[in-house]
Chains A and B, each alone.
Chain A
Amino acid sequence: MPFIPHSEHDISRMLSTIGVDTIDDLFDEIPDNLRCGELEQIPTGMNEMEVSRLLRDKAAQDGLPLCFLGAGAYEHHIPAAVWEITTRGEFYSAYTPYQAEASQGTLQLLYEYQSMMASLMGMDVSNASLYDGASALAEAVLMAVRANRKSKSRKILMPLSINPVYRSVTQAIVQNQNIELVDVPFDAATGQTDLTALEQYAGEDIAAIVIPQPNFFGVLENVDALTTWAIENKTLSIAVVNPMAMALLKPPGEWADSGVDIVCGEGQPLGVPLASGGPYFGFMCCKQQHVRQMPGRIIGRTTDLDGKEGFTLTLQAREQHIRRSKATSNICTNQGLLVTAATIYMSLLGPEGLKKVALNSHKNTQLLINRLTAINSVELAFASATFHECVITVEADAKQLIETLAEKSHILAGFDVSVSYPELGNALLVCATETRTEKDIEQFANVLNSYLNS
């Protein structure tokens, strides 16, 4: 029996200890009319050899195309040590560290993670993870509404330059709490949030403003000006950032005079594979003064009975298992194993390595821009500095182009932004991380050129 160790002898001895004749007798409290018959839609079981063959065949169907696609998930090199250690049984098959003394490995690692993340973001504190970047933004919005006690409006300013799926996830999660997401337009020339459009909200009661860096178009926002606007208007500020970019760019804790209030985002670039979209992890940091409004687990350093240093879950009075309907969030199971990978990744790369990854990604994207815009009819959509992604416009149907290049050349040519932004025309969001070589970029440019111009 797969994964069940009982011998016939074990079974009969156990049944006689219990005092029943058959295993079925143990279900005697369940009314007969509730018992189901055979599960006809489920195939019969397979052994490991058979299932391995099945999965290898399925994997082979998917192939490994050359990727210039980002839009919220990025292909970076992951050192071999990261997942070798992460999948050690002691990390992989442990539960949430409720029994602190038996979980010091996970707890210390999480404390180190919090320290790294807070420092990378320039913030005071970090939690131990949320589900993903998009749901982390939803949690940040809920947190800001709780934390901004002066505001009665439940209104959040949400730039249209943010990843549109983050906006829709946030909407789905906060809509039943009467929170209003107000669109803020972007400047058609720069792709940056339009500061003049904010003027109409000056003096109005706004709970928080969301500030992406870089934004969905890969464009660097004028984060200092946006944060200053928040401070002057006594509005909380929520940064949504790519953690890899923060090795290179000014972190949210240093924006304007006093930094933002809350930072969140997608942790995937830090050692987590693309893997069809998950599991990834959402991160969240904030200023010390808001820590009691933070959702999710937090690990603290303390001492044991002998005065020896140790680690434990702390501020648990925020959480559902203690506070139930008054908790800061319903989250329980989080994305711990991905944080394990990210902590090992950040330790291996360190400040220098991480900056190099960010810089090489930026440089490769610069090269990509040069090569692609040299093609007849390909233009940059925005005249702004970008991190490792940018929007190009083409004179061809973007959807068709993407499908053809994927099918004929095994190249993922980018993300079709015209679905969410029809005003941009046929536009593609393209990305080149440190993993793309000059040759890869050349190949993409050649294929795109012949698609568009022959």
Chain B
Amino acid sequence: MLIFEQSHRGRGANAQFPADNDDISSLPAGALRSSKPNLPEVSEMQVVRHFTRLSQKNFSIDTHFYPLGSCTMKYNPRACNTLASLPEFTGRHPLGPSLHGQGFLSCMYELQGMLKDVTGMQAVSLSPAAGAQGEFAGVAMIKAYHDDRNDTARSEILVPDAAHGTNPASAVMCGYKVKEIPTGKNGDVDIEALKEAVGPQTAGIMLTNPSTLGVFDRKIKEIAGIVHDAGGLLYYDGANLNAILGKVRPGDMGFDVIHMNLHKTFSTPHGGGGPGAGPVGVSKRLKPYLPVPIVGKKEGQYVLLDENDYPQSIGRMSAFAGNAGVLLRAYIYARMLGREGMPRVAEFATLNANYLLKRLMDVGYTAAYPERRATHEFILTLKKQAKELNVTAMDVAKRLLDYDFHAPTTYFPLLIPECLLIEPTETEAKETLDDFVETMAVILKEAEADSSLLKGAPYTLPVKRLDDVKAVKQLDVVWKRAEG
């Protein structure tokens, strides 16, 4: 039942209401609201019960194995939330003087330093609110760099066909055309195609390494050389940083600019869709263009540096200093891991992924790149099952839900038919992976016995498969009180 359907005129969570105050004489009558907004009129307990029960209809990391490829659904330590919620942190006004922010700002300053070190970049700005905004900032910096050198014929950004959708979308928001680069047979970028694609029109390339195909591009140095020789810059999509944290640094691979998804690698929660944080790191030549504010130190005090300190900055991405509370959680996580904990993240994420891949292959699944080492994630393709058994990746994904496992990422990257992108993360124990394998084996047997069973899944959740076509055709996105 919707919260609106529990509403009773005149009811309310009165303990939350400030004093009665009906005098509105200081406001012009014409400016006032006459209609009553459709907000529920319910008691506090009704609200608590309604939303608690809604929460129970979700899968989450705290309740389920969530092997969603490319999303790094690892445990979100509770301490990060508890400490970031200390009243001085939650109560701090963003425009308050830095005097009343030395504690908070020192965390941000240290976080910038740690991110710089772990990525091998020269400078970091924490301000982008998520990965996509980091991409926008990064590509905007590439554009500002070329523009400053009057190199204005560079109108194109290269993007591999395996790239995440945000990559091309961000490039277009920066005014670029997008040219797709095909992937070679083994999962690495097709070098010949790249050589053909680069030219005086190339502003840069956006790459993830390891790529979204779950393999590390071994020719990265060669790619960097080709793009740099053509005058373009290299952008690193840091969504997969978990695979190489503390092992390989994007700066050492030759990247000029990167974003990190702290809501993946640094374990801040996804919150059912967000918030994230997408700090950007740059090499020396892009440093002047970083988005502001940036935390700096002046006369022993931490301060927010702005346009006056960075006159060539691409500007501000949000009203204040980005998703500060997310950054604080990432800082706490980074301090708990420390320098020895970071490479361990990559090691155990990789161990779990390779183990899971091996075992899934042993029970009859097909790897997209069987001859390659898995990184922190890998791809299965159900092309064979689709053809022989009429079972799709979607069917397997939905059936997994019945067995209390969140589904892997489906149908991404688009170039692998019927794919499942699986990322177990380092925080899962062996026995969870084993249970998952056993369930996947059972599902395969079910498919072989009667594919219609999978077509109807899930059966045990609050709803069965939903009609997405109807959701578009009979668009119902806002509840309205029934007439009469």
List, in ascending order, chain B residues with CB within 8 A of A97's CB.
272-273
A263 touches B (CB below 8 Å): no
Asked whether, in the complex, the Cβ of B13 is within 8 Å of the Cβ of A14, the reply is no
Could you say which of A126, A223, A324, A407 contacts B99, with CB atoms under 8 Å apart? A407
List, in ascending order, chain B residues with CB within 8 A of A71's CB.
95
Asked whether, in the complex, the Cβ of B50 is within 8 Å of the Cβ of A101, the reply is no
Our count of residue pairs bridging A and B at CB distance below 8 angstroms stands at: 677
Asked whether, in the complex, the Cβ of B79 is within 8 Å of the Cβ of A52, the reply is yes
Asked whether, in the complex, the Cβ of A176 is within 8 Å of the Cβ of B324, the reply is no
Asked whether, in the complex, the Cβ of B269 is within 8 Å of the Cβ of A278, the reply is no
List, in ascending order, chain B residues with CB within 8 A of A323's CB.
165, 169
Report if A64-B87 is in contact (Cβ < 8 Å); known contacts: A29-B216, A105-B58, A278-B326. yes
Asked whether, in the complex, the Cβ of B172 is within 8 Å of the Cβ of A325, the reply is yes
List, in ascending order, chain B residues with CB within 8 A of A177's CB.
173, 175
1/0 per residue B211-227: CB within 8 Å of A?
00001101011000000
Asked whether, in the complex, the Cβ of A90 is within 8 Å of the Cβ of B355, the reply is no
Report if A276-B324 is in contact (Cβ < 8 Å); known contacts: A4-B427, A172-B315, A300-B475. yes
Asked whether, in the complex, the Cβ of A102 is within 8 Å of the Cβ of B37, the reply is no
Asked whether, in the complex, the Cβ of A102 is within 8 Å of the Cβ of B323, the reply is no
CB distance from A130 to the nearest CB of B (A): 9
1/0 per residue A13-41: CB within 8 Å of B?
11101111001101111110011101111
1/0 per residue B363-385: CB within 8 Å of A?
00000000011000000000000
- Which residue on chain A has the smallest CB distance to residue B38? A119
B299 touches A (CB below 8 Å): no
Asked whether, in the complex, the Cβ of A99 is within 8 Å of the Cβ of B103, the reply is no
Among A90, A114, A297: residue with most chain B CB under 10 A: A90
- Which residue on chain B has the smallest CB distance to residue A214? B31
Asked whether, in the complex, the Cβ of B97 is within 8 Å of the Cβ of A402, the reply is yes
Asked whether, in the complex, the Cβ of B479 is within 8 Å of the Cβ of A115, the reply is yes
Asked whether, in the complex, the Cβ of A330 is within 8 Å of the Cβ of B132, the reply is yes
B41 touches A (CB below 8 Å): yes
CB distance from A226 to the nearest CB of B (A): 13
Asked whether, in the complex, the Cβ of B339 is within 8 Å of the Cβ of A39, the reply is yes
Give A171 to B317 CA distance when docked, in angstroms: 10
List, in ascending order, chain A residues with CB within 8 A of B184's CB.
none
Size of A's binding interface in residues, CB under 8 A = 202
Asked whether, in the complex, the Cβ of B275 is within 8 Å of the Cβ of A349, the reply is no
Give A300 to B468 CA distance when docked, in angstroms: 9
Give A24 to B247 CA distance when docked, in angstroms: 10
Could you say which of A41, A72, A348 contacts B47, with CB atoms under 8 Å apart? A348
List, in ascending order, chain A residues with CB within 8 A of B60's CB.
89-94
B133 touches A (CB below 8 Å): yes
CB distance from A113 to the nearest CB of B (A): 10
1/0 per residue B31-42: CB within 8 Å of A?
111111111111
Asked whether, in the complex, the Cβ of B316 is within 8 Å of the Cβ of A276, the reply is no
Could you say which of B263, B326, B354 contacts A26, with CB atoms under 8 Å apart? B354
Asked whether, in the complex, the Cβ of A344 is within 8 Å of the Cβ of B47, the reply is yes
Report if A332-B275 is in contact (Cβ < 8 Å); known contacts: A44-B339, A99-B59, A304-B465. no
4 closest A-B pairs by beta carbon, nearest first, are A277-B320, A45-B338, A89-B62, A337-B271
